Amino acid sequence: MIKIGIVGGTGYTGVELLRLLATHPHAEVLQITSRSEAGRAVSELYGNLRGHFDLDFSEPDPQRLADCDLVFFATPNGTAMQMAPELLTQGVRVIDLAADFRLRDPALWAQWYGMQHACPGLLEEAVYGLPELNRAQIREARLVANPGCYPTAMALGFLPLIEHDLVDRENLVADCKSGVSGAGRAASVGTLMGEVGESFKAYAVDGHRHQPEIRQTLIGVGGQAVGLVFVPHLVPMIRGIHATLYARLVTPASDLQALFESRYVDEPFVDVLPPGSHPETRGVRGVNHCRIALHRPQQGDTAVVLSVIDNLTKGAAGQAIQNMNLMFGMDETCGLEQVALLP
């Protein structure tokens, strides 16, 4: 059994980790930390976990966490980088679900996250945890930076086009919609039902923190500069991301359907739908899948890729467990074979 610790177990990402790990056949959660809820039973805060975890939340203690084989950080940005170096020294592997290790440039990280990086020397070592791109490196990693939710949906939609140099890389557009759980569990006026219900809005149009992350990924794949307009939107639903991606084809004769089917044929968690499909976020609710559909309006030179994921699962906790499976030599689908929830 893999002995697991979770730092930050009270947010939506933390409880999603617990939900998935509860039925994982090779995982044993030893510790779940929360400064605000220390001493409280996990099942008292999250009734859906009653009967699955006989644990209380505890204060995060690096010495106790050193008893684990792997520690997940489901914490705000800036937390994992304070504790990861000591855990790595103790031989503990780390998966950070926040952004502390996603960007390789510490100056760029400071620019977007408003603080100096506490351990910049680890940024080059950290493996970006998108299995469909970095599977081999993840298997050998001791520190994995779990991708952001928007970048996961965008990367999986853009990758085949960039890898085959089929599109104008300077003019990529990502029009993305997310449910309110992406904003976290902390109380905020902007995410109250009375504020988001029966409404729909764009935000962070001038610059979202996930922008440099997705650009870094696409530049790494294509080896050339990328121009990306990324506009996120908040929609009145709890979970799910729908990314509508636009790119101008430089070789319009390309068979996009065949290209995507070939690229993802062996990927257990990427489903390329039949031609003309329109994936829905409810089709991936609660599961570690990305569903993709391809379109070329009026058979013109614009490729439109529709990519949907659950922001808490493939966009966070599910992908983190997929990475854990790879790091410990297991089948990467282990514990992740749930069926999406409908209705």
E strands along 41-136, which residues?
70-73, 93-96, 127-128
User: What per-residue confidence (pLDDT) applies to 84?
Assistant: 97
CATH label, 2-125, candidates 1.10.10.10, 3.40.50.12780, 3.40.50.720, 3.20.20.100: 3.40.50.720
What's the predicted TM-score (pTM) here? 0.96
Q: How far apart are CA 292 and CA 306, in angstroms?
A: 5
Closest to 94 (Cα-Cα) out of 120, 65, 137:
65
Q: Which residues contact 144 (CB under 8 A, 6 or more apart)?
A: 93, 94, 95, 96, 101, 126, 127, 128, 129, 138, 320, 323, 327
Neighbours of 170 (CB within 10 A): 11
Q: How far apart are CA 126 and CA 119, in angstroms?
A: 11
Rg (CA), the chain: 20
- Phi, psi dihedral angles at 224 (to 5 degrees): -135, 165
At 70 the three-state DSSP class reads: strand
Which of 119, 149, 176, 290 is labelled catalytic? 149
Closest to 229 (Cα-Cα) out of 297, 176, 160:
176
Closest to 73 (Cα-Cα) out of 240, 315, 316, 269:
316
Positions of CATH 3.40.50.720 in the chain: 2-125
Pick out the chain residues at pLDDT < 50: none
- Calculate the dihedral angle through the C-alpha atoms of 161, 327, 142, 26, rounding to the nearest 10 degrees: 140
User: What per-residue confidence (pLDDT) applies to 188?
Assistant: 80
User: What per-residue confidence (pLDDT) applies to 253?
Assistant: 75
At the topology level of CATH, where does 150-311 sit? Answer: Dihydrodipicolinate Reductase; domain 2 (3.30.360)
Q: Is 231 exposed, middle or buried (0-12, 13-18, 19+ CB in 10 A)?
A: middle
Q: How far apart are CA 161 and CA 6, in angstroms?
A: 36
Q: Is 302 exposed, middle or buried (0-12, 13-18, 19+ CB in 10 A)?
A: middle
pLDDT tens string 275-290: 999 999 999 999 999 9
* Residue 119 designated active-site: no
Longest dimension (CA), the chain: 62
User: What per-residue confidence (pLDDT) applies to 208?
Assistant: 94
Query: Nearest-5° angle of CA 12, CA 17, CA 18?
Result: 100
User: What per-residue confidence (pLDDT) applies to 190?
Assistant: 78
Positions of CATH 3.30.360.10 in the chain: 150-311
